[in-house]
Amino acid sequence: MEQAPRIPERYTLIEEVGQGGMAVVYRAQDETLKREVAIKVLHQHLAGEPESRARLEREAQAVAKLRHDNILEIFDYSGLDSATAYIVTEFIDGQTLKQFLNTRTLGFPEIAALISGEVCRALAHAHAAGVIHRDVKPENVMIRKDGLIKLMDFGIAQILDFQRMTVTGQLLGSPAYMAPEIIEGKQVDLRTDVFSVGIMLYLLATGALPFAGKNPHEVLRRITDGKFADPRTVKHGVDQVLARMIGRALARRPDDRYPEVALLADDLGAYLAEAGLHDARAELRLYFADPAAYEAALPQRLAAALTESAAVHLAAGRRVKALELWNRVLAFDPDNAVVVAALRRLEGRRRLRTAAAALGIAALLGGVGSAVVRRVHGRLVRPALSLAAPPAPSPIAPAVTTTATGSDGTASHRAEPPGAHLSRARDSRAMLDHEPAGRGGAAIRTFTLGPTPQNVDVYLDGHRQFGYDPDHTTIAVSWKADHVIEFRSPTGCCFVERVEVGPNHPLPSDAIIARRLKWRPAHLLITTEPSSGSARVMVRDLNRQVTPTAGHPGEEIDVPFFADDDASKEIEVAVDTGELFATEKIRVRAGERSRHVVKLRAGAN
């Protein structure tokens, strides 16, 4: 512990519990109120700087306005005239979200939504009081031992009803979580915090930051460019619904984002409610008590709740929403029997509706034909038999008279062979219901698609048809010839997955084509400082007991990705020249070529 700071006698310091760039945090006892507190003390070398003191005061003033279960409560503040600059807050027995994420990756996007929803609620309360946080990140989110989420560190908060305070040439905040308007020196507002929450939600859901780089400058440039990988390609299980929320929160232009964080909280709440997770705090209490056990039980819970929600939407005629929910199940359970059966029933009903429409059109055409006969000739002409209950064809059935109207308005009559009207009915039904006029398979087949990852383009016979999403989940093909359906990743992360269909191939079970695309290897080129072409490079997968891949600087090394990997993963690179040595952990993405410079040092690891 550093030399004890000079603070009022009512506080007894117990231990140092953390350090930041500006302050040291102590656990202490408030002897007057007999409770544990946390005391954040400005570093001695900063205590004389007016801006550092102003920032601490700004934090005290911001948090003093707020009373919310998800916001760290402030009890006391030293004031500007005190020799020691400090604030006293409630003591949180727990860890930061950053510390938690250093030990594990969240297994399901629903858990990311639970945590982010609590942060959104804290921010919504702050925004209602006119306070913008401006530094939302996992380091500033505490997890109490009972699972309660606490947002803290309002040190660079902007209080909207105070005069704006800036520092010339200085960016306040963490580069990886900054909104474009902060980087560009534009006015910030409530939507600035929405952007930071979007980055955190992306990180929690995928395990990777949307904007990353080798240095802060590169990170800031990528943020201002507004380009990031679709989260569905980064982590298995991230679905279209959550991806849309992330995309809206991370919009480059503030006008394209959620106008307020409360609306993002509402969308996250609805997303969780559809999955049966109605009480976020209760769920997080269970999760943080035993993350492994919680995640082991979660798939069964999610599947049951999502399929039940899908059934409700389907009964209300919201077919696209039902498909969206089924896709969420298929994202973590591609062979779910309940969803497969539901999709089969949905396809069956679609065919029945189409058949009924065809029969109605054929009957209407028959009625129009008989009406023309009556009008033109003033006499009754035997109409076609009802298609609703057609009689069985008979070799002695009488001929049926039909009428054709010529260009001059006159009508001619011809006799059709027995049963011809039935053939016409079958032809009409086939045209609308994709059923064949003759024997054999259907003239058109419709397949329900289920690719993983879901961010794929669908091709038919080499031509792009559409990008897969909840509105585009089926594809119809002619059954007169064989075809090739392809799933192609627009990001290049995966090998193309091809499926051959047609009369010469077995029909996919239940007309569902579900495929998991195989990851392409990452391609890594290592160089060293100082340069050493003879050094030995070893690349090791940190999560697998597999033989490391060997190579040399300047050579491209393939890093294999396995079926259960995510689209990016952390690997260890070791470089050894015999005299110089270094090891580093870096992150690579499937299918992506990247370069990395390893700085060598003397001595062994």
Q: Give dist(CA 596, CA 598) in Å, integer.
A: 6
- CATH node for 444-516: 2.60.40
Give backbone dihedrals phi and psi of 372, rounded to 5 degrees, phi first: -60, -40
Question: Among 91-95, 193-197, 237-241, which is the least confidently predicted range?
Answer: 237-241
Q: Is 135 a catalytic residue?
A: yes
Q: Do domains 444-516 and 522-602 have the same CATH topology?
A: yes
pLDDT for the residue 603: 57
Tell me 274's DSSP state. Answer: H
Position 471 pLDDT exceeds 80:
no
Say which residues have a Cβ less than 8 Å from residue 82's Cβ, sequence separation at least 6: none
Q: Give dist(CA 330, CA 71) in Å, integer.
A: 37
Secondary structure (3-state) at 252: coil
pTM of the model: 0.68
- CATH node for 11-91: 3.30.200.20
Q: What is the pLDDT of residues 502-545, one digit of tens each?
A: 998 888 766 888 888 999 999 999 999 888 878 899 999 988 88
Distance of CA 582 to the CA centre of its chain: 36
Q: CATH says 522-602 is which class?
A: mainly beta
Q: What is the mean pLDDT of residues 423-448?
A: 50
pLDDT higher for 574 or 512? 574
Position 8 pLDDT exceeds 70:
yes
Do the Cβ atoms of 119 and 151 come closer than 8 Å? yes
Q: What is the pLDDT of residues 290-320, one digit of tens each?
A: 999 999 999 999 999 999 999 999 899 898 8
pLDDT higher for 228 or 434? 228
pLDDT higher for 594 or 59? 594
Sequence-ordered strand ranges (E) for 105-228? 131-132, 141-144, 149-151, 158-159
Dihedral over Cα of 240, 246, 252, 254: its sign: positive
546 band by pLDDT with thresholds 50, 70 and 90 = confident
Q: Is the peptide bond before 560 cis (omega within 30 degrees of 0)?
A: no
Task: Kindly list the strands in the beta sheet with 522-529, ordered across the sheet, starting from the edge strand earlier in the chain.
Answer: 556-559, 522-529, 593-599
Do the Cβ atoms of 383 and 372 come closer than 8 Å? no
Residue with the two structure tokens 């040291």: 24
The answer regarding whether domain 95-332 maps to CATH 3.40.50.150 reads: no
254 band by pLDDT with thresholds 50, 70 and 90 = very high
Hey, which of 94-108, 224-238, 402-416, 567-581 has the most confident mean pLDDT? 94-108
Instruction: Give me the residue spans of the domains in the chain.
Output: 11-91, 95-332, 335-386+421-427, 444-516, 522-602
pLDDT for the residue 172: 53
> Strand 512-516 vs strand 444-452: parallel, antiparallel, or unpaired?
parallel
Q: Give dist(CA 593, CA 590) in Å, integer.
A: 9
pLDDT for the residue 349: 65
Position 434 pLDDT exceeds 80:
no
Question: Among 25-34, 167-176, 396-405, 505-514, which is the least confidently predicted range?
Answer: 396-405
pLDDT for the residue 240: 86
Share of the chain above pLDDT 70, in %: 78
Position 355 pLDDT exceeds 80:
no
112 band by pLDDT with thresholds 50, 70 and 90 = very high
Q: From the candidates 76, 81, 93, 135, which is the catalytic residue?
A: 135
Do the Cβ atoms of 428 and 358 come closer than 8 Å? yes
Q: Give dist(CA 253, CA 513) in Å, integer.
A: 38
Q: Give dist(CA 255, CA 557) in Å, integer.
A: 43
pLDDT for the residue 374: 35
Tell me the DSSP string of 468-525.
Answer: -BTTB-EEEEETTS-EEEEEE-TTS-B--EEEEESTTSPPPGGGEEEEEPPBPPEEEE
Distance of CA 15 to the CA centre of its chain: 41
Q: Is the peptide bond before 334 cis (omega within 30 degrees of 0)?
A: no
User: ∠454-456-461 over CA atoms, to 5°?
Assistant: 135
Element (H, E) at 29: strand 23-30
Quick one: which of 282, 100, 277 has its CA closest to 203? Answer: 100
